[in-house]
A = this chain, B = another copy of it.
Amino acid sequence: MPEPQLAAWRDRIDAALEHALPGPDASPRPLHRAMRHAVLLGGKRMRPLLVHASGSLCGAGPEALDAAGVAIELVHAYSLVHDDLPAMDDDALRRGQPTVHVAYDEATAILAGDALQSLAFEVLAGAPLDHGTRVELLRTLASAAGAGGMCGGQALDLAATGDGGSLDIAALEHLHALKTGALIRAAVRMGALCGRADHDALAALDRYAAALGLAFQVRDDLLDVEGDSQVLGKTAGKDAEQDKATFPALIGMEASRARLAELAVEMEKALAPFGDRALALRRLGEMAIRRDR
């Protein structure tokens, strides 16, 4: 995949995020600044890049993909703000910056997360698409974000934290299918919906996205063991410290790396029918597997 295409999409996404967020000087300033802190200070933009890659494969227009990408990135950003709170993962560092509750305060962090979630749906409701597609995008995102998706996965993760030994590998994969998988699958699906993909294309892309979501998490767990806090931009070694269920803890480093390789094969199988049109999705899959942060 030509890197310039991903870089161009990333620029579009950053500009669209900046445009969607309230200005830093409008009242109430602490809330608006906390929202901007949560979204604009870095991030890989993995989910909106998946929206663009999947959508452009399906022939969607870039403005619609910007809106869908912004919405899903806002949901992702809000979830990080809340996950970092003292009552949750209690993290002080994210993307090499103080987390929102450290830079502001806990109450503002809770509210900023809440407002980012609302903004995601507001942006999507105003996307330049026909009403039927907008409703389908809204339903996809809301369902992936809620108790049957991301929030449910985070609840399972909380229950397993400090009790890492109680999950088996199937339960751990289920946890991550909800916690990170649901939103990654939603990203790929939303892009495809913007391009009015047919049933077969949606199903193949969903197989790719499910494998990618899991690969992303396996790599995350490996990085927490062997990564460098400096490069990661967050504290390494926290999983073991908190006795979290992780792939390395459950099946070891070697088997975790082997699982990653399997998932790479699953992604390629799912994308094969699309040929060269899937180059961007392939490149994003590779990045998820090889990333060092």
Q: Shortest distance in angstroms between A215's beta carbon and chain B's nearest beta carbon?
A: 24
Please name all residues of chain B whose beta carbon is closer than 8 Å to the beta carbon of A130 when the two chains form the complex: 131
Knowing A117-B118, A119-B142, A142-B119, the reply to whether A111 touches B151 (Cβ < 8 A) is yes
The yes or no answer to A115 lying at the interface (CB within 8 A) is yes
CB atoms of A117 and B114 under 8 A apart = yes
Q: Write out, one digit per residue, whether chain A residues 91-117 have a CB within 8 A of any chain B CB (1) or not (0).
A: 000000000000001111011011101
Knowing A31-B151, A114-B82, the reply to whether A139 touches B119 (Cβ < 8 A) is no
CB atoms of B87 and A158 under 8 A apart = no
CB atoms of A27 and B146 under 8 A apart = no
Cα A292 to Cα B106 with chains together (Å): 33
Cα A156 to Cα B107 with chains together (Å): 12
The yes or no answer to A231 lying at the interface (CB within 8 A) is no
Copies, count = 2
The yes or no answer to A4 lying at the interface (CB within 8 A) is no
Interface size in chain A (residues, C-beta < 8 A)? 52
CB atoms of A142 and B122 under 8 A apart = yes
Q: Which of A117-161 contact B (CB under 8 A)?
A: 117-119, 121-122, 124-126, 130-132, 134-135, 138-139, 141-143, 145-149, 151-152, 154-156, 158-159
Please name all residues of chain B whose beta carbon is closer than 8 Å to the beta carbon of A107 when the two chains form the complex: 85, 87-88, 158
Chain A interface residues (CB < 8 Å from chain B): 22, 27-28, 30-32, 35, 78-79, 82, 85, 87-88, 105-108, 110-111, 113-115, 117-119, 121-122, 124-126, 130-132, 134-135, 138-139, 141-143, 145-149, 151-152, 154-156, 158-159
